[in-house]
Amino acid sequence: MNAKNEHDLSLTRRRLLGTVGAAGATGLALGGTGGALGQSAAQDEPPTALATVGSTEVAFHGKHQPGITTPLQAHGHLVAFDLASGAGRKEAAALLRRWSRTASALMAGDPAPDGHSGVALDAGPSSLTVTFGFGRGFFSRTGLTAQRPEALAPLPQFSRDALDEKRSNGDLWVQIGADDGLVAFHALRAVQRDAAGTARVRWQMNGFNRAVGATPHPKTMRNLMGQVDGTNNPKPSDSDFDKRVFVPPGGPPGWMEDGSYAVFRRIRMLLDNWDEQSLAQQEKVIGRRKSDGAPLSGGTETTAVNMEKRKADGGLAIAADAHVRVTAPDTNGGAAMLRRSFSYHDGFRDDGSPDAGLLFVAWQADPLTGFVPVQRKLDSGDALSRFIRHEASALFAVPGGAGEGEYVGQRLLEG
Amino acid sequence: MNAKNEHDLSLTRRRLLGTVGAAGATGLALGGTGGALGQSAAQDEPPTALATVGSTEVAFHGKHQPGITTPLQAHGHLVAFDLASGAGRKEAAALLRRWSRTASALMAGDPAPDGHSGVALDAGPSSLTVTFGFGRGFFSRTGLTAQRPEALAPLPQFSRDALDEKRSNGDLWVQIGADDGLVAFHALRAVQRDAAGTARVRWQMNGFNRAVGATPHPKTMRNLMGQVDGTNNPKPSDSDFDKRVFVPPGGPPGWMEDGSYAVFRRIRMLLDNWDEQSLAQQEKVIGRRKSDGAPLSGGTETTAVNMEKRKADGGLAIAADAHVRVTAPDTNGGAAMLRRSFSYHDGFRDDGSPDAGLLFVAWQADPLTGFVPVQRKLDSGDALSRFIRHEASALFAVPGGAGEGEYVGQRLLEG
């Protein structure tokens, strides 16, 4: 699944006492292969006291927007909006200004500026992050096509895609995460209220991750298939992390400096089919042991995968179509993206199967060197593809963080 | 809302280090009015260390089933099943035996007995509870109508009900709660797998509550309207708590000894309408201050409501139709139930309004002296009713807890 096995769930649940700024967050140690430094730093960190779940605050202002390198939260909302007819650049600018003010207030644990406070009173910030992005349609509707990044070209159609257009794309995108469900919901409501008259909800989805403190510390997350998920995610301590994830100084385009591109895919897992497989079959599909995430070529979770390793019978230890092989950066020209997803579960479908899987969110400096080449390989040769369905898709340009007194997207909208 | 203002959210997030047995749990101090002892005991309790979120275990075996007096968890799943055609008493007994074995294992943090383990590996029990109940239809389908409790008579139709039969009732009911989303989801999947061939999912809903540690300790919860919610819930330390919540020794019927009746209502909140009200209007509807839950008659959250108090202008401080007045036990012949609900949010409806509200669950020894008289009053005279819609309803007989070596419902199915 889109390099799913390597995805964001590696973000450890380490919490800092006090404010974690967007810049400071890049210093967080993320669990993962090869990141001996990061890994051990995380292990040295004592478990955070329970009392800080509510009081942990992420800074809204900074070089990058929050919610990209921020440790994964337990609750997430993704929501896309389309601009209302009649709403243009001026109205969009006013909306981004409102949204930025709301995000800044709520992330600090203050009431929503529109006066509709109280829903999450006395909750504390609870690691809330609110992240804003622009879809391709935004630029034509606001007369800003000249500013539209080349990187926002529509994603290619993949042969296995079964996309629902109504739950795909959108002019504007907001990603909300928090460790408390009420704080996250309150932020979603505030964002929706701010949009009234200017933009209407196109689609909205809810996700979750492990609770803070629910797993031994630090431990890579598991997805709904039970697989350890996120071992090989890029780490902020990697020398090429910024180059892979963030748009470099100057762009192009200039207004995207320090920004990133978010690929969203709603990936339903065919869990009934998956559960019918034996443990050995499941592990062969992934290329890692289910119990601890160690590659089938040997070692522990963080041991580098040995793609050439042979079993006693002469066969490859890591099958030719194993997910871990197809997604390996060195078989994709070094492509790597920061995967930071939420699991979802929307009940059961009419056929009795669970409507559940992954709200996959991947961050990269350029989708054409990040998501696209990896997904192209997965689309044709990934053993995991029999057990998943890509049901929705979107691509958003997520500008850099707002400085003090600035709003997100100001450099585009007033540039 | 069904005495919503007073509902279960008062259960404080206090966690014990180690095992909380079903019996032990009744000794938990719950925040609430009048419970000076309970309240101060809770305040004396230091915040639980984060590391215990995953390791906190609730006992499956005991006098009562878990998930009734257990402190509210952050994630909940409610699922109702109908017996498959051809499935009778024997198959139902085998299912309850499988379910009990699964619940016992997962609540202890062990893999599911059916071999489909791994999804929540290394998570720990995370305060998981799994609770089983029987709906009215169960008894006719299993030839056990002679054993059907009188108390399972269909709930009366209330004038404001707008119930969806497809999301109401059911032969069997399972309530799942856990402080970790993956642990809760895994339990739901295991319960569903156990049912294959014997029962099919009729409806299933997902809910949430505040995260452990997200609010100052101890603090009554807030619902999605932002109201402090649960101040007046019965407390296990009340002398009449057991009498109100649990079926007494001997029943009737005998097999329900130490059991309880669960009323479920899916109550959608008209949050857009609610948010249009001023703070003063919202507080008048409820009869309590939004900021701290104190009654409008004065004092603090735990001050007894003075229904006779007059304002300077001579009007009642607590309006005649205020929710807190209509739900007050002393205006309902002492009726009280233990409300232990989850909030829900299933995205947005076609009209753009949130599909969100309360998965109301109330526990009582007899619905005819618990939920029914309160709801009858609310139905005719509650100011809050303009802002809510009851969209689904069910009533289940929840037998007492299984002893060691016993399964839930054994006294009914093998009686």
pLDDT digits (tens, 9 = 90+) for B403-412: 999 999 999 9
pLDDT range class, residue B121, cuts 50, 70, 90: confident
User: Has residue B8 got a pLDDT over 60?
Assistant: no
Residue range A63-67: average pLDDT? 98
Interface of A with B in 347-366 (CB under 8 A): 347-348, 352, 354, 356
Residue range B120-133: average pLDDT? 88
pLDDT in tens, A115-137: 766 677 777 899 999 999 999 99
* pLDDT the model gives residue B101: 97
Tokens 């929706």 identify what position?
A192
User: What SS3 state is found at B344?
Assistant: strand
User: What SS3 state is found at A78?
Assistant: strand
pLDDT range class, residue B35, cuts 50, 70, 90: very low
* pLDDT the model gives residue A112: 86
User: Has residue B48 got a pLDDT over 80?
Assistant: no
pLDDT range class, residue A267, cuts 50, 70, 90: very high
DSSP state of B156: P
What tokens does A204 get? Answer: 């909205």
User: Has residue B10 got a pLDDT over 60?
Assistant: no
Q: How crowded is residue B156: how many other Cβ atoms within 10 Å of its Cβ?
A: 11
A9, A55, A116, A121, best to mutate vs chain B, most B CBs in 10 Å: A121
Per-range mean pLDDT, top range of A12-16, B281-285, B302-306: B281-285
Specify the range with the lowest mean pLDDT, choosing from A7-16, A43-52, A126-135, B138-147: A7-16
User: Has residue A32 got a pLDDT over 90?
Assistant: no
State the amino acid at position A257 in one-letter form: E
Among candidate residues A82, A171, A229, A258, the one labeled active-site is A229
pLDDT range class, residue A35, cuts 50, 70, 90: very low
What tokens does B22 get? Answer: 């079903």
What tokens does B225 get? Answer: 């309207």
Which H or E run contains B64?
none
User: Has residue B130 got a pLDDT over 50?
Assistant: yes
Judge contact between B126 and A213, C-beta under 8 A. no
Judge contact between B192 and B79, C-beta under 8 A. yes
User: Has residue B291 got a pLDDT over 80?
Assistant: yes
From A183, which residue of chain B is nearest by alpha-carbon distance? B210
B53 phi and psi, to 5 degrees?
A: -55, -45
Specify the range with the lowest mean pLDDT, choosing from A180-184, A325-329, B7-11, B96-100: B7-11
Helices (H), B205-308: 241-245, 271-276, 279-286
Q: How far apart are CA B80 and CA B199, in angstroms?
A: 9
Q: How close, in Å, is residue A108 to chain B by CA atoms?
A: 14
User: Has residue B183 got a pLDDT over 80?
Assistant: yes
Tokens 């892979």 identify what position?
A244
Q: Read out DSSP for A83-124?
A: EPTT--HHHHHHHHHHHHHHHHHHHTTPPPTTS---TTTT--
Q: How crowded is residue B36: how many other Cβ atoms within 10 Å of its Cβ?
A: 10
Residue range B163-169: average pLDDT? 97
User: Has residue A268 got a pLDDT over 70?
Assistant: yes
Long-range pairs for A366-370: beta carbons < 8 A, 24 or more residues apart = A366/A151, A366/A247, A366/A261, A367/A151, A367/A155, A367/A261, A367/A263, A367/A395, A368/A151, A368/A153, A369/A333, A369/A335, A370/A244, A370/A261, A370/A263, A370/A335, A370/A336, A370/A337
Q: How far apart are CA B96 and CA B174, in angstroms?
A: 11
Q: Are strands A172-178 and A75-83 parallel, antiparallel or unpaired?
A: antiparallel
What tokens does B305 get? Answer: 């409501």
Q: Which of the two residues, B112 and B137, has the higher pLDDT score? A: B137
User: Has residue A29 got a pLDDT over 60?
Assistant: no
* pLDDT the model gives residue B214: 67
User: Has residue A114 got a pLDDT over 60?
Assistant: yes
User: Has residue A53 got a pLDDT over 70?
Assistant: yes
Residue A122 near chain B (CB below 8 Å): yes
pLDDT in tens, A147-191: 999 999 999 999 999 999 999 999 999 999 999 999 999 999 999
User: Has residue B229 got a pLDDT over 90?
Assistant: no
Q: What is the mean pLDDT of chain B?
A: 85
Judge contact between B29 and B358, C-beta under 8 A. no
Give the residue from A128, A397, A350, A368 showing the smallest Cα distance to A254.
Answer: A397
Residue B213 near chain A (CB below 8 Å): yes
* pLDDT the model gives residue B242: 95
Judge contact between B379 and B158, C-beta under 8 A. yes
Percent of chain A past pLDDT 70, that is, above it, reads 85
What tokens does B367 get? Answer: 């619905």
Taking an 8 Å cut-off on Cβ atoms, the answer to whether B183 and A123 are in contact is: no
A82 forms beta bridges with: A200
Look up A382 and say whether it is catalytic.
no
Q: How far apart are CA A93 and CA B326, in angstroms?
A: 47
User: Has residue A23 got a pLDDT over 70?
Assistant: no
* pLDDT the model gives residue B178: 95
Burial pattern A75-85, b for ≥16 Cβ within 10 A else e, equals: bbbbbbbbbee
Helices (H), B249-399: 271-276, 279-286, 323-326, 371-381
Residue range B187-207: average pLDDT? 96
* pLDDT the model gives residue B162: 95
Judge contact between A363 and A334, C-beta under 8 A. no
Q: Are strands B354-364 and B388-398 parallel, antiparallel or unpaired?
A: unpaired
A145 phi and psi, to 5 degrees?
A: -60, -30
Q: How far apart are CA A69 and CA A338, in angstroms?
A: 8
Residue B236 near chain A (CB below 8 Å): no
Residue A212 near chain B (CB below 8 Å): yes
* pLDDT the model gives residue A357: 97
Tell how far CA B13 is from the center of its chain. 15
User: Has residue B50 got a pLDDT over 80?
Assistant: no
Q: What is the mean pLDDT of chain A?
A: 85
Looking at beta carbons, which residues of chain B come within 8 Å of A118? 222, 226, 279, 290-291
* pLDDT the model gives residue B148: 98
Q: Are strands A19-20 and A57-58 parallel, antiparallel or unpaired?
A: parallel
Q: How far apart are CA A170 and CA B152, in angstroms?
A: 49
User: Has residue B11 got a pLDDT over 70?
Assistant: no
pLDDT range class, residue B215, cuts 50, 70, 90: low
Taking an 8 Å cut-off on Cβ atoms, the answer to whether B180 and A356 are in contact is: no
What tokens does A322 get? Answer: 């194993």
Judge contact between A152 and A379, C-beta under 8 A. no
Taking an 8 Å cut-off on Cβ atoms, the answer to whether A275 and B116 are in contact is: yes
* pLDDT the model gives residue B116: 66
Q: How crowded is residue B414: how many other Cβ atoms within 10 Å of its Cβ?
A: 12
Q: How far apart are CA A335 and CA A372, in angstroms?
A: 9
What tokens does A87 get? Answer: 């709403």
Helices (H), B146-294: 181-195, 241-245, 271-276, 279-286
User: What SS3 state is found at A297?
Assistant: coil
Residue range A339-346: average pLDDT? 95
* pLDDT the model gives residue B392: 98
Residue B266 near chain A (CB below 8 Å): no
* pLDDT the model gives residue A57: 93
Closest by Cβ to B347, choosing from A182, A206, A208: A206
Which H or E run contains A146?
none
Burial pattern B375-397, b for ≥16 Cβ within 10 A else e, equals: bebbbeebbbbebbbbbbbbbbb
Residue range B88-99: average pLDDT? 98
User: Has residue B45 got a pLDDT over 50?
Assistant: no
Q: How far apart are CA A324 and CA A231, in angstroms?
A: 10
* pLDDT the model gives residue A48: 44
Residue A111 near chain B (CB below 8 Å): no
pLDDT range class, residue B98, cuts 50, 70, 90: very high
pLDDT range class, residue B216, cuts 50, 70, 90: low
Q: pTM, whole model, 2 decimals?
A: 0.87
Judge contact between A399 and A149, C-beta under 8 A. no
CB neighbour class for B406 (10 Å; exposed up to 12, middle 13-18, buried from 19): middle
ipTM, two decimals, is 0.85
A178 phi and psi, to 5 degrees?
A: -160, 155
State the amino acid at position B236 in one-letter form: P
In angstroms, what CA-CA distances link A329 with A26, A273, A336, B187? 21, 28, 6, 35
Closest by Cβ to B217, choosing from A51, A183, A205: A51
Q: How many helices (H) and strands (E) does chain A have?
A: 12, 11
* pLDDT the model gives residue B16: 28
Q: How far apart are CA B18 and CA B178, in angstroms?
A: 15
Q: How far apart are CA B109 and CA B3, in angstroms?
A: 35
pLDDT in tens, A282-340: 999 999 999 889 999 999 988 999 999 999 999 999 999 999 998 887 777 777 899 99
Residue range B37-47: average pLDDT? 29
Tell how far CA A200 is from the center of its chain. 23
Q: How far apart are CA A112 and CA A115, in angstroms?
A: 6
Looking at beta carbons, which residues of chain A come within 8 Å of B213? 50-54, 212-213
* pLDDT the model gives residue A5: 32
Contacts of B372 (CB under 8 A, 6+ apart): B155, B156
Judge contact between B261 and B151, C-beta under 8 A. yes
Interface of B with A in 125-144 (CB under 8 A): 126
Judge contact between A42 and A30, C-beta under 8 A. yes
Residue range A348-369: average pLDDT? 94
* pLDDT the model gives residue B7: 29
Taking an 8 Å cut-off on Cβ atoms, the answer to whether B214 and A75 are in contact is: no
What tokens does B12 get? Answer: 């404080």
What tokens does A352 get? Answer: 């009795």
User: What SS3 state is found at A44?
Assistant: helix
* pLDDT the model gives residue A44: 30
Helices (H), B89-246: 89-107, 136-141, 181-195, 241-245
Give the residue from B269, B244, B270 showing the smallest Cα distance to B362.
Answer: B244
pLDDT in tens, B334-348: 778 999 999 999 999
